[in-house]
Structure 1
Amino acid sequence: MLNLPDRLGSRLSGAQFANLHTFVAVARHLSFSQAAQELCLTASAVSHRIARLEQALALRLFERLTRRIRLTAEGERLYQVLQGLEAQLQEALQPSTEEVSGALSLYVRPSLAQHWLVPRLADFQQRYRQVSLDIRTGNEPVDFRTRPVDLALLYGHGEFPGLASQLLMDERVAPVCSPQYAERHGLIDHPGRLAQCTLLHDALAWEHAAFDAEWQRWAGEQGVQQHLPARHLTFDRSDLCSAAASHHAGVAIGRQRLVQPLLDQGALILPLGGFSQTAGQGYYLVHPPRERLPLRLRVMIGWLQVQVGDG
């Protein structure tokens, strides 16, 4: 198997480092023209730099398709190596101080950001005053090549192909609705009466999920699929489902870490019993694979783990 660091050392001269920088830009955008705009070069100049790099390494780094390009297996490996070197360089250039510093971008699902992460951020700011934290939210799949994101906090089953991931905290789910809605439909301890209800769906519960995936998973585990009605409302956030449920619009699948405050306030109840755990379901920390994470990223992961332990 090719050892990229050895190959780089034996085949590259100092003049090739500009070509490596160009390669990283092209690999990030998977576009010669977009890389050219970033580097203030012509697309022809970018193409020539890549050709010279491929010749020096005796490797083909990109596959040229009809209207796009993609990395070859060796190109992907080189890109991962250079990303790791870039992170190490950024850490090495930090001021020599015990205080962690630098910019850090965290991508989070909107519901979790609003109801779990944001209320805790003051503690992070007090502990790490020299870290500039940028929180971005969204439901679309995160592309670490094209978005300036260091770490993502995602809900799902832990399947993130090509990325490193670790479970931060698990999640338990159960149907929730307002007390008034449960009484109106005689729903307490009667799952068969779901057929008379409106179901509230988070249509983007996790990547590639069907619009009713959470309800189908819960109903399958409980053996009550036959009672699920066709009548529904869909949202793109779990907390909007819970908010609609608290205002008598229907029954939602509540995630305990998000809906517990509404349960404590009495705005929601658990009409069909307590929360249940689905194997592997939870919130995962996701990032590109690296041999060693930058210090600021290791600090953020450690802090998030402490927050889970603190409840």
Structure 2
Amino acid sequence: MRLPSLIALRTFEVAARRRNFTEAAQELSVTPGAVSRQIRLLEAELGVSLFDRTRNTVSLNENGRKLAATVSQAFDLLIRGADELRGQDDGPIHITCAPSIASHWLMRRLNQYAADNPDITLSLEATEQLTDLERGEATLAIRFTTADSPAQASERLFCETFFPVCSPAYLEQFGPFDAPRDLLKARLIHTHWRNAANLRLPGWDDWFAAYVGEAEPQAGGMRFGLIGHAIQGAVSGQGFALGTTALASDDIANGRLVVPFAERCRLRTPWEYRLAWSRKTTPAEKVRRLIDWLAAEARASAGPESEGEGGA
């Protein structure tokens, strides 16, 4: 018996799991047309159809469901075997996270860790797409999630709070800003990010409602889709942004941003950054050391706000 194409089988496994050729294409970093071609090649080789196709949708048929169960088990076995070897060799530790936390917090620390641990190879991918830790697509991932839905194998890095920040130059030119109401005259930088479940980040309307009452901020100002870009706008002197525990701490420590109200006037949120890994395997010793080191760095960045819960 001849084994079908492994590329076709891998494509089928992802398409069957995702139940969507477009999402499968995104996970595999190919086009939907390439996914469709691999599925048809596999169907031709096996002599059966695996999906029922309509004009706008595809769904597994009985043949597809049977093959999906077998292929999924086979790839799980391969992944577990690879994970066991990763725990024994000197292969790289692959880390994924969103671009904002990568550029504003993680990258500098990974550079420091790599310099202090020259025997360990680190690999960082900054992407908005979620990687599948259970299938070995990364060793560690920093996930932005809500406190009521943490990853099962993870450790909290930051509880997010939001507070006004600006550059020292902006404060000197347009200040002082001694009370929350003073920000009614400030140029504001807005963020309008929402996640897939339509949960959004706090905005200036929330901050003014909490600390100024019913007053509304002035119209105008810059708007960004990512909070990291808004914070960079504040660093460059464009006005006030709502900084966060994770993304603004280094700029504050280095004097690129100032916090006019110090520890006052901070919006607490259910959002948090968590460092996650696969539930199927215990992290190798070198991975555990990195987890502990990053957690300690997060506590040092956030101060008392990060104290409390440890691993999950």
Above 0.5 in TM-score? yes
Equivalent position of 2:12 in the other structure: 26
Alpha-carbon distance between aligned partners in 1 of 2:224 and 2:253, rounded to the nearest angstrom? 24
**Offset at 1:262?**
3.7
Alignment of 1:267-306 (within 5 A): 267-274=256-263, 276=266, 278-286=268-276, 290-292=279-281, 295=284, 300-306=290-296
**Residues 283, 51 of structure 1: CA spacing in aligned structure 2 closer, same or farther, 3 A cutoff?**
farther
The residue identity in structure 2 corresponding to 1:198 is R
The residue identity in structure 1 corresponding to 2:248 is V
Residue 47 (structure 1) aligned to one of 43, 47, 50 = 43
The 3-state SS of whatever aligns with 1:102 is: coil
The residue identity in structure 2 corresponding to 1:44 is R
2:168–2:256 Cα contact (<8 Å) kept: yes
2:11–2:38 Cα contact (<8 Å) kept: no
| More moved, 119-128 vs 226-235 | 119-128
Q: Within the alignment, does 1:133 sit opposite 2:129 as a pair?
A: no
Equivalent position of 1:188 in the other structure: 177
**Residues 83, 302 of structure 1: CA spacing in aligned structure 2 closer, same or farther, 3 A cutoff?**
farther
**Residues 236, 26 of structure 1: CA spacing in aligned structure 2 closer, same or farther, 3 A cutoff?**
same
Q: Within the alignment, does 1:142 sit opposite 2:94 as a pair?
A: no
Alpha-carbon distance between aligned partners in 1 of 2:300 and 2:179, rounded to the nearest angstrom? 36
* CA-to-aligned-CA distance 1:1-55 (integer Å, 9 cap, x gap): xxxxxxxxxxxxxx6975998544223255499799989x864341256787x9x
Aligned residue pair count: 284
Alpha-carbon distance between aligned partners in 2 of 1:36 and 1:178, rounded to the nearest angstrom? 45
**Offset at 1:91?**
2.7
Q: Within the alignment, does 1:87 sit opposite 2:79 as a pair?
A: yes
Residue 99 (structure 2) aligned to one of 90, 93, 110 = 110
Alpha-carbon distance between aligned partners in 2 of 1:134 and 1:234, rounded to the nearest angstrom? 32
**Residues 165, 307 of structure 1: CA spacing in aligned structure 2 closer, same or farther, 3 A cutoff?**
same
**Residues 297, 36 of structure 1: CA spacing in aligned structure 2 closer, same or farther, 3 A cutoff?**
farther
Equivalent position of 2:242 in the other structure: 253
Residue 178 (structure 1) aligned to one of 159, 167, 182 = 167
1:156–1:207 Cα contact (<8 Å) kept: no
1:203–1:234 Cα contact (<8 Å) kept: yes
Identity of aligned residues (%): 20
Alpha-carbon distance between aligned partners in 2 of 1:112 and 1:260, rounded to the nearest angstrom? 11
The residue identity in structure 1 corresponding to 2:55 is T
Equivalent position of 2:297 in the other structure: 307
The 3-state SS of whatever aligns with 1:91 is: helix
**Residues 281, 147 of structure 1: CA spacing in aligned structure 2 closer, same or farther, 3 A cutoff?**
same
**Offset at 1:116?**
1.8
RMSD of aligned alpha carbons: 4.7
Unaligned runs of at least 5 residues, structure 1: 1-14, 55-60
Provide the TM-score with structure 1 as the length reference: 0.65
Equivalent position of 2:308 in the other structure: none
**Residues 245, 21 of structure 1: CA spacing in aligned structure 2 closer, same or farther, 3 A cutoff?**
closer
**Residues 261, 285 of structure 1: CA spacing in aligned structure 2 closer, same or farther, 3 A cutoff?**
closer
2:165–2:257 Cα contact (<8 Å) kept: yes
**Residues 306, 19 of structure 1: CA spacing in aligned structure 2 closer, same or farther, 3 A cutoff?**
farther
Residue 146 (structure 2) aligned to one of 157, 164, 172 = 157
1:172–1:255 Cα contact (<8 Å) kept: yes
**Offset at 1:161?**
9.6
